[in-house]
Amino acid sequence: MTAVATEAGVTEALRRSAVYRVLALAFAPPVAERLAEVAAASAGAAAGTRAAVADALARLAAAAHADPADLATAYLGLFDRTVRCPLYEGAYGPPRLGGKAAMLADVAGFYTAFGLAPASAQPDMEDHVAAELEFMSLLALKEAWALAEGLDEALAVTRHAQAAFVGQHLGPFAPALAARIAELAPPGFYPAAAAALTAWVDDECGRLGVAPAPLEGLTEAEVGPLTCPMATESGSAGLSEPA
């Protein structure tokens, strides 16, 4: 690979990491500092993306200037308390082979393979959309590092993990979550975040060469009340390196 091609690849991987990071922040609890970061980073991350993604990120950046108190109320109504709109992959679709435990173990296996685990303050959230997006942001960063260092084996492993994770988890999950938000959320930030998520994951599926079937509806086990452990004001979306 030429130096010019390597530089372009590194730039692209870093840009992808930034988009995943912005989306992870958008689905974490809406404190003022986080919203300011979403507004600033969305505009920067849009550079070089397809028109549909750039437009969705621009709308997200504009929506992030809303009153944090209003967004906190919307967040609680959608994602906390009775959780009309779960942010967890395991809440969507028909029952899977091996059950939810098998799905969670598979997601956790991806994290463990790259030295990550759910933050100790936020256990049992492997399949939270913010955690899954944060993980993909990390993989894109690792891709940039492998490209810059000329590490062909590490590059192949990282790219394979991205395709597998999007194909098996984030790709099926994101459209189902976005559709639920579009149905239930008041106009403004969360529909904008859902639209950006849909546009970006669709773009990534094409780039990674995967065509996952979207999950549909909520599982029967998730129809009742549930409390979201992501309702904190911590800066992390929920992944950390094990001690």
Amino acid at 17: S
Q: Give the global pTM.
A: 0.88
User: Which run of H or E residues covers position 14?
Assistant: helix 3-26
**Of the candidates 56, 127, 94, 49, the residue with the CA atom closest to the CA atom of residue 213:** 94
Enumerate the domain spans of the chain: 3-240
Residues 6+ apart with CB under 8 A from 136: 20, 162, 165, 166, 170, 204
Tell whether the model's pLDDT for residue 119 goes beyond 70.
Answer: no
Q: Which of 47-51, 164-168, 169-173 shows the lowest mean pLDDT across its residues?
A: 47-51
**Of the candidates 15, 41, 16, the residue with the CA atom closest to the CA atom of residue 28:** 41
Q: At what angle do helices 3-26 and 189-208 cross, to 10 degrees?
A: 150
Tokens of 38: 């979403």
Tens of pLDDT, residues 19-65: 999 999 999 999 999 999 999 999 888 888 889 999 999 999 999 99
> Does the structural domain 3-240 have CATH classification 1.10.3480.10?
yes
- The listed range with the strongest mean pLDDT (96-100, 189-193, 225-229) is 189-193
Q: Report the percentage of the chain scoring pLDDT > 70.
A: 84
Structure confidence at residue 81 (pLDDT)? 64
Tell whether the model's pLDDT for residue 118 goes beyond 80.
Answer: no
Structure confidence at residue 241 (pLDDT)? 61
Angle at 240 between CA 72 and CA 177, to 5 degrees: 45
The alpha-carbon radius of gyration of the chain (Å, integer) is 17
**Of the candidates 78, 10, 90, the residue with the CA atom closest to the CA atom of residue 48:** 10
d(CA 9, CA 150): 11
Structure confidence at residue 72 (pLDDT)? 94
Q: 65-73: long-range contacts (C-beta < 8 A, 24 or more apart)?
A: 65/35, 65/39, 66/35, 66/188, 66/189, 68/30, 68/31, 68/32, 68/35, 71/30, 71/35, 71/188, 71/189, 71/190, 72/29, 72/30
Give bridge partners of residue 134 from the DSSP assignment: none
